[in-house]
Amino acid sequence: MVLVLALMAAHGENRMLRQLEQRRIVSCVVTLVQRHFPVGRTIQLSSTADNNDNATSVLEAIHRFELWPVQVSGSSKVSLSRLSVEKISSYIIFTRSVKDITVQAEMLYAKSSWDSRGLFLIVVTVKVPNSEELALSVIRELWEIGRGYNVVVVVQQDDLLNLYTWFPYSSHDNCADVKNVVLVNQWVLEGKGKFVREASIYPCKFPSNFQGCIVNFSNQGRGGNEEEIYSQYFLTHNITKNYVNDVFYGVFKLEMVLIFLQNLWVRETDMVFGSFPLLVEEISNAEPIFPYFSMKLSWFVPCPKPLSRIRRISHIFSPSVWVAIVVVLFLVTVVSRCLAKQSKDSRSYTTMSSALYNIWAVTVGVPVTGMPRSLRLKLLFVFFVWYCSASTPFSRRS
């Protein structure tokens, strides 16, 4: 009995410690969101099944501020649409291992809202013996999958939360490969928690001197305004240029654009420039910059030839409908003339011309010259009016 109570007390104490630790991690994440994430821009929150409590607590805290829209996604592999209008500017990802971050990053990268220039906050919720090594693996994975470079990894070590990031192009031997990480700050878990240093954890990652690092790029053709602009930029920032598939002779321009985008997708080239239209495929698979030049295109189409009045009238109904109309008009005209002569009805129906005129007037819905007087002729007109009313929608449909 004593052993059971001791185990229950130990379990309760461990649970309270986990909850306290969770509140401190959530407090650190919310503080970072307040300080660094742009207000009004969407935050993408991703977590594994084991981190739903942390994600829920952060979600509740962010919603209290009412400053950021939030999208939530899990780690299950589902088919996601690549059509999205807004680029996500901030990411919060709760993970437990490099394998988990790989699954989550691939799922997020499959969406057209992925923005490699966004702010990434990766929170590792398990204690590890070597926090720096884990942070290096996580940052390298995000860089390999989606070229995310504004990455901060939060890893707990003892009573501290270590915040790691990396800086590309810091030396000639450290260009665009993740070889080491830097400890930018620490969060003390005592009390409500606080940072050891008051400094930005998302500094500018691109230096003014690229240390002669090689940048692979594709161009529609050497020379021109684009070549002049980028050559001057590369010279100023000490960048070594390497042309990749810069000219495609005999290839249709749209195909050339798609080939260049393919090179970007498989990482054969780092950037593409030239006279590229802002196509949907380009925007969803690459990140276009602000255009330097604009081009106005005019579309010329031949004017339509006017139709004659007869052709316009003949195109109202199909030929079969016109034949049916003529046959019915002729039959009704003949029958109405015969009935008018037998009953000595109004002169408006005793001749073929006058009877045809009145029958055509009923067909087009205008007043007749005289109303029929005999019962037979009246019944004929009633049935003919019903026929015209019933056949109008069918003739229009055909």
pLDDT in tens, 159-172: 788 999 999 888 88
Q: Is residue 250 part of a domain?
A: yes
Q: Do residues 222 and 322 both lie within one domain?
A: no
Q: Is residue 127 part of a domain?
A: yes
Q: Is residue 200 part of a domain?
A: no
In whole angstroms, give the CA distance from residue 154 to residue 193: 14
Check if the beta carbon of residue 346 is closer than 8 Å to that of residue 313.
no
Q: Do residues 185 and 259 both lie within one domain?
A: no
Average pLDDT over residues 16-28: 74
Q: Do residues 270 and 136 both lie within one domain?
A: no
Task: Provide the domain count of the chain.
Answer: 3
Res. 395: pLDDT tops 50: no
Lowest model confidence (mean pLDDT) among 39-48, 89-98, 222-231, 324-333: 222-231
Tens of pLDDT, residues 80-110? 344 455 788 899 999 988 999 999 998 988 8
C-alpha distances in Å from residue 290, one per residue of 186, 278, 287, 293, 358: 37, 11, 10, 9, 72
Q: Is residue 374 part of a domain?
A: yes
Q: Is residue 208 part of a domain?
A: no
Q: What is the CATH number of the domain that holds 61?
A: 3.40.50.2300
Q: Do residues 97 and 222 both lie within one domain?
A: no
In whole angstroms, give the CA distance from residue 90 to residue 116: 10
Q: Which domain holds residue 388?
A: 318-397
Question: 10 Å Cβ neighbour count for 342?
Answer: 11
Check if the beta carbon of residue 185 is closer than 8 Å to that of residue 155.
no
pTM of the predicted structure, to 2 decimals:
0.66
3-class DSSP assignment, residue 82? coil
Last-in-domain residue among 161, 195, 229: 195
Q: Do residues 166 and 26 both lie within one domain?
A: yes
Q: Is residue 206 part of a domain?
A: no
Last-in-domain residue among 195, 227, 243: 195
Question: How confident is the prediction for the chain on average, in pLDDT?
Answer: 79
Lowest model confidence (mean pLDDT) among 160-174, 240-254, 258-272, 373-387: 240-254
Q: Do residues 270 and 384 both lie within one domain?
A: no
